[in-house]
Amino acid sequence: MEEFVRSFFEVDTNISAWALPDIRITDIIDILVIAFIIYELLIWFRKTRAWILLKGIFFLFAFAGVSIVLQLNMTQWIFKATINVGVIAVIIIFQPELRRALEQIGRGSFLSSVFNVESHTLSEENVEALVYAMEQMSSVKTGALIVIEQEVALGEYEQTGIPIDAAISSQLIMNIFEHNTPLHDGAMIIREDRILSATCYLPLSENQEISKELGTRHRAALGLSEISDSKIFVVSEETGHISMAYSGQLYRHIDGDFIRRELLGEKRSKVNKLKARLMRRKGGDGS
Ligand SMILES: Nc1ncnc2c1ncn2[C@@H]1O[C@H](COP(=O)(O)OP(=O)(O)OP(=O)(O)O)[C@@H](O)[C@H]1O
């Protein structure tokens, strides 16, 4: 490590080494791949606690550089001693973040997020039923937590709830989340056009940066989004606002159009919005 820092701050005075080398197509691909990895790493750093760590590492490197240039032997010795222990400490402290990043790569959600793969697990009618139910529950401030399963199976969370296995309808969704009814607590899980279960218990997020005004319903949505690729919708009982948790991010104050776009993709959501308007004018309710 010390060698690396030393070579980093050593200036190459050999002029011939500054001449442009032959660049092959594979070199360009190499540069693009490295640039892409650094870009994704920086984004990952920003989304996690590791951002603070990165700033700390920059500071330490700058400090080490200064100590090498000024030949501060004692400082260099301390730096060398702490850096070895530091690497192990960082792995232990950031074990949850590292595990999550590896899980994301493993299940391919990393690539799908890069190439913006859209989910098509729900029919247009069912998306409209969901939008209608969420808008209605939002207007009367009925709390709700709805999980739309994607590629990662949620069997273990489904088992914590009460099995429903019913077709999706806005009336059923609203009924399940109605205050003081046996099924209103916890989360509803939806898999491919079926409501699988209700009252499911989701893992709570340990993210320290979640706004203090948000309670356990939002924390549970965020928690599941950190370990799966599900799209999780929350209707706040306190404010009536709708939010979506996806890939460790919470999108707050979203509306019906946002939900359509997320569940159907850009093109289908526009057509669906028009269809829904026509249906409602004719007296339908979106279920
Ligand atoms: N781990 C969990 N899994 C699923 N649902 C949960 C979990 N923890 C809490 N909930 C649901 O959240 C409700 C409590 O919400 P709370 O008021 O703490 O959250 P909130 O984020 O402030 O939401 P709101 O804005 O609706 O009040 C519980 O009654 C329960 O239905």
- In the chain the domains, ranked by start, together with CATH numbers, are 2-93 (no CATH), 124-286 (3.40.1700.10)
Give pLDDT tens digits for 240-263: 999 999 988 999 999 999 999 999
Nearest by Cα to 45 from 55, 35, 31, 60:
55
**Are 223 and 203 in contact, with CB atoms under 8 Å apart?**
yes
Out of 181, 210, 217, 224, mutate this one to test ligand 1's pocket (max ligand atoms within 8 Å of CB): namely 217
Q: How far is the CA of 280 from the centre of ligand 1 (A)?
A: 31
Signed CA dihedral, 125, 127, 130, 135: sign only: negative
Q: Which ligand 1 atom lies nearest to the CA of residue 241?
A: 25
The pLDDT score that the predictor gives to residue 1 is: 54
User: In Å, how far are 141, 184, 206, 222, 231 from 225, measured between CA atoms?
Assistant: 23, 21, 12, 5, 7
Q: Which ligand 1 atom lies nearest to the CA of residue 184?
A: 31
Q: Which ligand 1 atom lies nearest to the CA of residue 219?
A: 21
List the 231-235 sheet strands across, edge first: 162-167, 194-200, 187-191, 144-148, 231-235, 242-246, 249-254
Q: What is the residue-averaged pLDDT of the chain?
A: 82
Q: In this predicted model, which residue has the larger pLDDT, 44 or 77?
A: 77
Q: Which ligand 1 atom lies nearest to the CA of residue 235?
A: 26
DSSP structural state of residue 181: S
Nearest by Cα to 76 from 65, 89, 84, 85:
65
Helices H / strands E in the chain, number of each: 12, 7
Nearest by Cα to 134 from 257, 229, 265, 223:
257
Find the helix or strand (DSSP H, E) in which 147 lies: strand 144-148
Q: Which ligand 1 atom lies nearest to the CA of residue 143?
A: 26
Q: How far is the CA of 203 from the centre of ligand 1 (A)?
A: 12
Q: How far is the CA of 139 from the centre of ligand 1 (A)?
A: 18
Give pLDDT tens digits for 70-126: 888 888 888 888 777 878 887 887 777 777 677 667 665 555 555 444 454 789 999
The pLDDT score that the predictor gives to residue 140 is: 96
Q: How far is the CA of 218 from the centre of ligand 1 (A)?
A: 7
pTM of the model: 0.64
Res 221 pLDDT > 90: yes
**Any residues with Cβ below 6 Å from ligand 1, and which?**
143, 145, 185-187, 201-202, 204, 214-218, 220, 236-238
- Cα–Cα distance between 198 and 88 in angstroms, integer? 42
Q: How far is the CA of 29 from the centre of ligand 1 (A)?
A: 48
Which residue's alpha carbon is nearest to atom 12 within ligand 1?
Answer: 217
Which residue's alpha carbon is nearest to atom 20 within ligand 1?
Answer: 215
Q: How far is the CA of 41 from the centre of ligand 1 (A)?
A: 32
Q: What is the ipTM of this complex?
A: 0.93
Q: How far is the CA of 13 from the centre of ligand 1 (A)?
A: 63
Q: Which ligand 1 atom lies nearest to the CA of residue 203?
A: 1
**Are 121 and 78 in contact, with CB atoms under 8 Å apart?**
no
Q: What is the DSSP string of 3-30?
A: HHHHHHH-----GGGGSPPP--HHHHHH
